[in-house]
Chain A
Amino acid sequence: MSQDFVRRLPGSGLVMQRKAGIGDAVHLDMSMVLLLLAISAYGLLILYSAVGQQTAPVLSQGIKILAGLGAMVVIAQIPPISYMRLAPWMFLVTLILLVMVYIFGVEVKGSRRWLRIPGVISFQPSEIMKLVLPLTLAWYFHDRHLPPRARYVFWSLVVIAIPVIMIAMQPDLGTSVIIAASGLFVLLLVGVSWWFVFSAIGLAVVSAPALWFVLRDYQRQRILALLDPERDPLGAGWNIIQSKTAIGSGGLFGKGLFEGTQSHLDFLPESQTDFIVAVLGEELGLAGVFALLVLYLLLTGRGVVLSLRAQDTFGRLLSGSIMFTFFVYVFVNMGMVSGVLPVVGVPLPLVSHGGTSILTLFAGFGILMSIHTHRRITL
């Protein structure tokens, strides 16, 4: 750990500075890398149990994590100024990709999320938007006087709303929630007044019933299932009943690794992907869940420290938003698996199998480290 200290610069607010650490040479933050490795390793262990102790899925997940780490290292080498310059163009290109999904997209299980260039690549443009939106908003506010005037706030809300609505219509409620959060965090960090924040939250709560009418039938089922899983135990309520049973039966220390009964007898659906926490809860109990939460909290905390040390508006806004968004993943996933949030299909970061989102996550950390290690002022 490098020595952290706080220096009060004359005439300015609190700016945190520090010595150059060992990671700076390779543009990485070593404590963050260690935390990422720890969570990934823990995740692979849970996955190994969830897939019934087969090695193939664990290996493929391991390769994805390695690829993600590689991407993170590469992204960290590029100075943040390049990302800032490219931000508006990336936003435009991603929007065009989203429109293309709407037209040419491949329909899987009733929703249109994938863009497929046969034989070359297939990907979800909404994944890219998870990073591009906060990038764009950080660029937008970088040179402006803060707190921003109302009309700038208005335009940034439009910028948030366009991709969020397009993705919600695919329909992919989970991703659109994540993207909306990543944009709104930037607004929170540029210092829009609390009055504005709370009245927006109030408005959202009031207009929530109206949202009910635009939801697809299966989405309504999921919300109703949350409120009363017994209402529809054969359909939408099934997952929640089964995952609560798995978690609850785990107790304080769990049934032991690889000893879970609910998840291994196929009672628990999606036990390798979105519902993997249920496997953890059943086999390693509250202790295992708590350990994972502590790791997540440490990682987020480290990210928050990095964002406080960022030297310009762009870097601060972007790194703050990336870290808070990361936590939203954790909270939404664990909330839905434990039956306090509706099932919206958000994976548990770095742990859930099938990581289309793994690359996005590591790319985000790459940007964070790039911001942290390319410094204009070195004390």
Chain B
Amino acid sequence: MVHVQKRIIEPNHGDWAVEARGLVKNFGDNRAVDGVNLNVRAGTIYGVLGPNGAGKTTTIGMLATLLRPDAGSARIFGHDVVKESQIVRQLIGVTGQYASVDESLSATENLIIFSRLLGLGRAEARQKADELLEEFGLTEAAKRPLKNFSGGMRRRLDLAASLIAQPPLIFLDEPTTGLDPRTRTQMWDTIRRLVKTGSTILLTTQYLDEADQLADRIAVIDHGRVVAEGTVDELKASVGTSSLQLSIQNLQDIDVARQIVERVLNIQSNVLYEAGKIIAPMANADLVTDLLIALRESGIQLSEMSVQKPTLDEVFLTITGQGVKKDAEKASFESKKAEVAKA
């Protein structure tokens, strides 16, 4: 946690960088966002996780003053996004899903124009542009038109443009969608460094592992509503555990192996006879050692062993699936955990 020196302006707002209450946005008949509540503490990374079309981008649009909410309200560092939009704009940086930079200009020109718009002088703007290009490893490509930029370079430039004014809150809308794994890791590093300087980051993502890697807290959004909210660990616990998959070399042994698995791990397992596979939830990783020893003692040979993490599909099946109450927004993790355990 970053310690924020609060001046007591409005004590109720504490140190919330973002407070959204019942945000609603309709596009025609389509209710894109249907009463979203979010609280983001200053100095943290907050992940908004959801599939395509869940309302992530629309929510960010409203928080970033790009869209006017049809209902509900939102405050950024205590300032209302509708009534004090010009103040809010001085506190935020927005990096869009599709890079919001000028395609027909060079990287330097882009940064200079945004710097000038933010009130920097001619020389300052140029200096700032050079600094940022250097920081984001774009110096060599600085003069080239953006048309020839790769997706990763574009995203980096986009993020650089969001940092000119050193905003205390940065919105990153799917910062790594469509990037290759290496560039994605680079982006993650950049985001982490950013938070160390005291920024608050609200990022949206479709990837569970991205939220896992970066976010302190996560909200899962589906059909325009927050269906689950909590820390990464809470969320993971609610969607179930990783599953252990064992392939048995000798198919005759499979029933014996299953008994051993269920006895040692103390759980129910599934058997795929055709594939010679046993699948068991892995709640306690330490027990796997005991299991392997027990299997060897019984002379059962494994041909393969793997651990499958819960995928995003499973997250959504679990959270948005049948077990969820109608008032999903208020359903606590505890109740969900219980439902998962029952299932």
Partners in one complex: no
